[in-house]
Amino acid sequence: MKRINVLCILLMISGTARAITYPFTTVDTPGFHILYTNVSNQITISVSDVTLDLNGATVSGGTNGIVINSGLNNVTIKNGAINSVSSNGIQVGAGCSDITLQDITVSNAIRGVSFSQVTNGLLRNCDMQQSTTGLMLDACHNIVLENCTARANTHAGYDLLRSTTCSLLECSALSTGNGNSSISSQVFGFVAKDGNGNIFERCIANATQALSVTGDNSIVAGFALRGSESCTTIIDSEGSNSQTNVNGFTVPYGILLETTVDSTQSMTGLAGIIQGIDWSPDGKYIAVGGGDGSSGGSNDPLQIFLFDQIGKTVTSVAGALPSIGGGSIESLSWSPDGNYIAVVGFLPDTGAMKALQVLSFDNSSITLQVLDGALDINDFISAVDWSSSGDYIAIGGSIIAGGTTNDFQIFQFDRATGRLSSITGVLSGGFGRTVAWSPDDAYIALGGSGLTGDELQIYRFNKAARILTSVTSVFSGSSNVRSVAWSPDGNYLAAGGATLTGGTNDELQVFLFDRAGGTLTSIAGILSGEVYSVSWSADGKYIAIAGETITGGTGDEYQIIKFDRAAGTLTAITGGLAGSSARGIAWSRDGSAIAIGGNPLSGGSGLSFQIFSGFGFPQKNVIKGNTMYCNSGAQFPSGVGISAPSISNLVIGNTTFNNPIPRAANKPIIVSNYHFVTNVFNPLFGEGPSSLQNIATSALTPLPTVPDVPAKIKRTELLLESLI
């Protein structure tokens, strides 16, 4: 066997520079070794304290390119290329330490570089390209990557599994997924799973793609944290142009903290009768409404509870409407800014009280104050929903004598004066049970029983003319529509009720709403019994339901249902509270908890107001100072800048825009710069972001004029406007 160090000595003695080829397969002595020509076989390093200088040559053709055997330390490989191997370009075995790769290019392998159970390592100026995975770190510790690039790898640029305290500094993942022909796949620029304390700093993920992927269950993300990954940091990084098949249903992400939902557990609860329930936009508080002495705490019909995410407890912090004469609060809704609550119900013999009331909520003093009311106290109002702009409140009920005297009415709310004014209404003589604004406030869904026409109706709302125009409807005859909710992107409508006649004839149904054609198309249905309340998860992939006498799915009165857009199916994942009368349900904005009210709720804690665990996420991670933009794709324009729960993770100081890209022919109904992030600042409102807020900008909206909006944001808006 010829060793490279012998070749070097011979060349120096002869004084010539001849190219001589030797069969070179093993390095088994410590020291400095240099390769003077290409080799077409695997090279195995079987001893510690080795430096292998490839000297610009290429290793190719073997099962692996270069293998560092297990248990070695202090090995360096530099200055060359590994190409066209059937497994790993560079493979480092278990138990190795102090491994350095520098100025190395690896291409056309299964894994460009594979480290397994390696401690202490450095990769500097390395390029991993056109492989399945550029770099794989499995159960590794203290590995540092500096200025490395992963190009056109079909699955992942950088994949960290069960690894800890690894740092990727100024690394790039470019065109990951290029050439991936799978129709169901997972593609990541940077991904870490089930590890701890890793750092991605000043990294770039650009053009992460899966152009053949169409499935709703596929994942495409520039950066992703998965499983139990914790205490990991993504900081000052950039993710852009993640894209998927325009005819598919896969959503591309800039940064994704992946959700899991296997089962839910009752975390806390209180006694009483609860009809209405809603989370504050920041996810800190829960408003509950019922009858007199409805839920412990202050025993007021309307109460605000503080939810302790760590201790999993609720504490009553404010109450209002102390005596409503035997009536009840039927429904309530927080304003989008969290400063107001609208409540409605059947409120007889209560003097000056109104059937619709708006209260202010002071977050600093934790107090409620009645501002204004509308409609006669004998009117029975059962539904209320606040528009996303915060300017309008929609209500539904029966035998309404006030306002426009219709079953469904819209009121305008003036923040400056705290006053309500009736502006329009539709339908009379029926029972309006549910109302829901579309995410962009352009449409409103109305549901009930005994309505003029069908029991679920869609109206277009013209803000300028202040009128409602009928668009389409479904469910005829004896249908009783109890609850409707728009998907977060505004493309789908979920409806729950009893004896629903139409669509799939199930008591939970999902419809596709075509704005251009003004039609509802039945997509999927599930469950029998009576569904009282439905609530979408913030990513639009799941629906939580509450009801009674439910059969189908898990057979419980509370269930989480997965909605697969590509397959057009609804599948029950988990549930609870069998035998209960569950009346209201609300998914927290960060996805981690689900609040349920009823009369009463059996199972769990046996109480009528309970909080269940929602999604599982990677926790205690830091997502800070990143810029995510132009992540776009899917049949319905979609693309998310950052999807990460900002209560269980620190998500601060990020900027996202044009997620998805607004195209003239196919604009999104509403931008999705953030999912599950509750502390988002929109530069069009307020007085400038705090250091703890995230920024969302969009070229779809007018330029901000607030004086203290940072100049950088204004320049970004001007640039984006010029591109459209």
Q: φ, ψ for residue 399 (rounded to 5)?
A: 50, 55
With helix as H, strand as E and coil as C, how does 111-157 read? EEEEEECCEEEEEECCEEECCCEEEEEECCEEEEEECCEEECCCCEE
Whole-angstrom Cα distance, residue 632 to residue 636? Answer: 10
The average pLDDT across 6-18 equals: 36
Question: What is the distance in angstroms between the CA of the first residue and the CA of the last residue of the chain?
Answer: 66
Whole-model pTM: value is: 0.90
- Contact criterion met (CB below 8 Å) for 155 and 128: no
- Contact criterion met (CB below 8 Å) for 141 and 166: yes
Per-residue pLDDT, 296: 53
Give the residue, 574 or 351, on which the prediction is more confident.
574
The average pLDDT across 268-274 equals: 69
Q: Is 18 exposed, middle or buried (0-12, 13-18, 19+ CB in 10 A)?
A: exposed
What's the mean pLDDT when you consider all of the chain?
87
- Shortest CA distance to 45 belongs to which of 74, 23, 68, 64? 68
Name 57's Cβ contacts closer than 8 Å, sequence gap at least 6: 35, 36, 37, 38, 39, 80, 81
Q: How do residues 502-546 score in pLDDT, each as one tens digit?
A: 999 999 999 999 999 999 999 999 999 999 999 999 999 999 999
Name 712's Cβ contacts closer than 8 Å, sequence gap at least 6: none
CA distances from 540 to 491, 532, 560, 561 (A): 10, 19, 12, 11
The top-scoring range by mean pLDDT among 107-121, 571-585, 595-609, 687-701 is 107-121
| Tokens 């290329």 -> residue | 81
- Contact criterion met (CB below 8 Å) for 621 and 647: no
Give the residue, 299 or 208, on which the prediction is more confident.
208
Whole-angstrom Cα distance, residue 291 to residue 272? Answer: 8
Please check the confidence at residue 650 and state whether its pLDDT lies above 70. yes
Name 424's Cβ contacts closer than 8 Å, sequence gap at least 6: 404, 409, 410, 466, 467, 468
Q: For domain 272-613, give the CATH superfamily.
A: YVTN repeat-like/Quinoprotein amine dehydrogenase (2.130.10.10)
The average pLDDT across 164-177 equals: 98
Name the percent of the chain lying above pLDDT 90.
68
**What residue type is 589 in one-letter code?**
R
Classify 711 as helix, strand or coil: helix
Whole-angstrom Cα distance, residue 75 to residue 121? Answer: 9
Per-residue pLDDT, 402: 81
Structure tokens at 428: 């009379």
DSSP state of 532: E
pLDDT bracket for residue 353 (50, 70, 90): confident
Per-residue pLDDT, 109: 97
With helix as H, strand as E and coil as C, how does 201-230 read? ECCEEECCEECCCCCCCCEEEEEEEECCCE
Q: Label residues 173-204 b or e (16+ Cβ within 10 Å = b).
A: bbbbbbebebebbbbbbbbbbbbbbbbbbebb
Other residues' Cβ atoms within 10 Å of the Cβ of residue 541: 20
Torsion angle defined by CA atoms of residues 17, 79, 65 and 26, in that order, rounded to the nearest 10 degrees: 50
Torsion angle defined by CA atoms of residues 272, 278, 283 and 286, in that order, rounded to the nearest 10 degrees: -30
Structure tokens at 148: 């490395």
Whole-angstrom Cα distance, residue 274 to residue 294? Answer: 6
Per-residue pLDDT, 8: 40
- Contact criterion met (CB below 8 Å) for 450 and 457: no
The average pLDDT across 407-436 equals: 95
Listed in order, strand segments (DSSP E) in 258-366 are 266-270, 274-279, 285-290, 302-308, 313-320, 328-334, 340-346, 356-362
Q: How do residues 633-644 score in pLDDT, each as one tens digit?
A: 766 678 999 999
The average pLDDT across 482-499 equals: 96
Whole-angstrom Cα distance, residue 460 to residue 437? Answer: 10
Per-residue pLDDT, 352: 64
Per-residue pLDDT, 245: 85
Q: φ, ψ for residue 287 (rounded to 5)?
A: -95, 130
pLDDT bracket for residue 18 (50, 70, 90): very low
Whole-angstrom Cα distance, residue 78 to residue 390? Answer: 60
Q: In which order are the strands placed within the sheet that holds 328-334?
A: 328-334, 340-346, 356-362, 367-374
Per-residue pLDDT, 182: 76
- Contact criterion met (CB below 8 Å) for 522 and 511: yes
- The answer, yes or no, to whether the previous bond of 660 is cis (omega within 30 of 0) is yes
Per-residue pLDDT, 136: 99
Per-residue pLDDT, 323: 62
- Is beta strand 492-498 parallel, antiparallel or unpaired with respect to 508-514? antiparallel
